[in-house]
Amino acid sequence: MDIAKTASALKQRGDTAFRQGKYALATEFYTQAIGADHDVSPTLYTNCAQAELKQHKYREAIVSCTNALALDTRNVKALGRRGTAYARLGEHLKAEHDLQVALLVEPTNKTLARELETVKKVVKPGMEQPRNSLVFERAWREYGAHPELLYEYLRHISAEELPMLFRTSLESRHIAQIATAAEYAQSERNDAKFGATLLGALPRVERFALAVLFLGEGDRHLVQKIIKSSECEHVLAAQYE
């Protein structure tokens, strides 16, 4: 099999692994394809970056996107995905720049426009603090899917306020998103107290037991990982089993 066919076959295997949710395996295949192809397409790098983003490997994704941009400076996927990676790392000015450039190339891209709007809210000083549960719920819809934004939002809220803010709206997705934000806080902000503090407050929220019951296996594993790295493991572990 010639080099081009080998690279193509590896790319296809990477695509298949990605569709199956096997992101580490997809990254491996894309990396092999890059190494096997003398005439590397930017697509291999942007595909690799997408798989790395799924694994929260933001620094690696930035490198992959930068390699793609070295081949094509106007590559929208590379600009957009690098912007997303920067945003997840809390480097919002860099994220804003990449997303703005991407939108200059592709001004009708609604996904990029939404991402840029979210980043701009953080670049602006301060976030709206919750006056009541409705404001809190609105903010959560905006920040919940973005670990670095949720971290910035929640770290300014007293954990003691969570029962009042959640009231009866706590769901398993909220716990999962807090755990993801806590993982970000530990790895990127060196803030180990954030997760333990919030996870320690949630058992006082109505519907907590039901929310924990419906946690997915992966989310439950992440919660336990955050708890094990805290000083409160002996207190919290049983609450999230």
The overall pTM is greater than 0.85: no
Q: Is residue 18 located within the same domain as residue 119?
A: yes
Please say if the pLDDT value at position 220 is more than 80: yes
Residue owning tokens 């990396």 = 31
DSSP secondary structure string for all residues of 99-146:
HHHHHHH-TT-HHHHHHHHHHHHHHSS--PPPSSHHHHHHHHHHHTT-
- SS3 state at 178: helix
- At residue 105, the pLDDT reads 95
Name the pLDDT band for 164 (thresholds 50, 70, 90): very high
Name the pLDDT band for 231 (thresholds 50, 70, 90): low
Assign residue 56 a region (left: φ > 0; alpha: ψ between -120 and 50; beta: otherwise).
left
Domain boundary among 90, 123, 156: 123
User: What average pLDDT does the segment 193-210 reach?
Assistant: 92
Q: Is residue 114 located within the same domain as residue 139?
A: no
Domain boundary among 80, 105, 123: 123
Q: Is residue 117 located within the same domain as residue 139?
A: no
Please say if the pLDDT value at position 89 is more than 60: yes
Q: Please give the structure tokens belonging to residue 169.
A: 């709206």
Domain boundary among 123, 144, 168: 123
Q: Is residue 161 located within the same domain as residue 111?
A: no
User: What average pLDDT does the segment 138-164 reach?
Assistant: 87
Please say if the pLDDT value at position 188 is more than 80: no
Q: Which residue range(s) make up the domain with 82?
A: 3-123
Q: Is residue 118 located within the same domain as residue 146?
A: no
User: What average pLDDT does the segment 41-65 reach?
Assistant: 95
User: What average pLDDT does the segment 103-119 reach?
Assistant: 93
Q: Is residue 8 located within the same domain as residue 107?
A: yes
Q: Which residue has the higher pLDDT, 8 or 189?
A: 8
Please check whether residue 128 lies inside any domain of the structure: no
* Geometric angle at alpha carbon 33, from 30 and 36, rounded to 5°: 155
Q: What is the mean pLDDT of the chain?
A: 88
Q: Is residue 180 located within the same domain as residue 226?
A: yes
Please check whether residue 171 lies inside any domain of the structure: yes
Q: Which residue has the higher pLDDT, 145 or 131?
A: 145
Structural domain total, the chain: 2
Which residues in 92-124 are b (16+ Cβ under 10 Å) and which e? bebbbbbbebbbeeeeebeebeebbebbebbee
> In this structure, are residues 31 and 52 in contact, taking their beta carbons and an 8 Å threshold?
no
Annotate 185-205 with three-state secondary structure. HHHHHCCCHHHHHHHHHHHHC
Q: Is residue 99 located within the same domain as residue 192?
A: no
- At residue 45, the pLDDT reads 96
Please check whether residue 232 lies inside any domain of the structure: yes
Nearest to 70 by CA among 30, 90, 42: 42
Please check whether residue 40 lies inside any domain of the structure: yes
Please say if the pLDDT value at position 120 is more than 60: yes
